[in-house]
Amino acid sequence: MLKKVSDVMEPIIDTVSPDTTVKNAIMQMRVATRKPGIYGVKGIIVLDADGKVIGLLSVRDILRSILPEYMMERTEFGSLSWPGMFEHMANKISEKTVGEIMSKEVITISPEATLMECAVLLIKHNLWRLPVVTPDNRPLGMVYLRDLHYAIVDSILETETDK
């Protein structure tokens, strides 16, 4: 049977609103349910009041947000920093809102899409996870890099047993 994205995706149990503070969002991610019985997520979907996907907050977005914009500029900073800079910058973001630091241009996929299409998106955009959404942008699930990896493993094992 040919698998579709909806066959390999995982359920979405927790989401956040863009007005949540980063501090609360981080707390929420620590206890969020990935699968029944498994807790802690590294990325969480951001929904507007209407229940539509408007962003994605991942540990990468949080890390990026503690780096000041000027360090991403043309200037070469080398190993310049002052003692305690990392912690200082980390504490500065806690009262920001999720809406300020989330990835706003979320790449999503339809549940009907093929695994090939899904693999292309994950690799091309260097992603770990893709929200699966309805045509009007409501979340149905999340497909992770590991889900496609399991699909590869399954496929290889199946071919082996067929022989």
Partner 1 sequence: MTEAPAPETQEFVMNGQFWTATALFILMYVAIVTEKIDKTVVAIFGAGLVLILKVLDQHDAFHTEAFGIDWNVIFLLISMMTIVNLIRPTGLFEYVAIKSAKWGRGEPLRIMLIFAVITAVFSALLDNVTTVLLLAPVTLFIADALEVDPVPFLIVEALASNIGGTATLIGDPPNIMIASKAKLDFMSFVTNLAPVVVIMMIVFLIVVRLLFSKHLSVSQELKERILAMDERSAIKDKAMLFKGLFVLTLVLIGFVFHGIFHYQPASIALFGAGLLLVISNTRHPHKILAEIEWPTIFFFMGLFIVIGGVVKVGLIKLISAKVLALTEGNLLNTSMLVMWFSAVASAFVDNIPYVATMNPLIINMAHHLWPDLQGTALLHHPDLMPLWWSLALGSCLGGNGTAIGASANVIVVGMAEQNGKKISFLRFMAYGFPIMLLTVAISAVYVWLRYYVFQAL
Question: In the complex, which residues of this chain contact partner 1 (CB under 8 A)?
Answer: 68-71, 73-85, 88-89
Q: Which is nearer to partner 1, 69 or 160 (CB)?
A: 69
Nearest distance from C-beta of residue 23 to partner 1, angstroms: 18
CA 10/CA 45 separation, integer angstroms:
13
| Closest approach of partner 1 to the CB of residue 107, in Å | 24
Tell me the residue type at 116: M
- The distance of closest approach from Cβ of residue 22 to partner 1 in the complex, given in angstroms and rounded to an integer, is 14
Q: Which residue lies nearer to partner 1 by CB, 73 or 162?
A: 73
Q: Is the CB of 73 or the CB of 136 nearer to partner 1?
A: 73
Instruction: Tell the burial category of 105 from Cβ atoms under 10 Å away from its Cβ (0-12, 13-18, 19+).
Output: exposed
The three-point CA angle 110-105-56 to 5° equals 75
CA–CA distance, 39 with 47 (Å, rounded to integer): 20
Rg (CA), the chain: 18
Shortest Cβ 16–partner 1 spacing (Å): 22
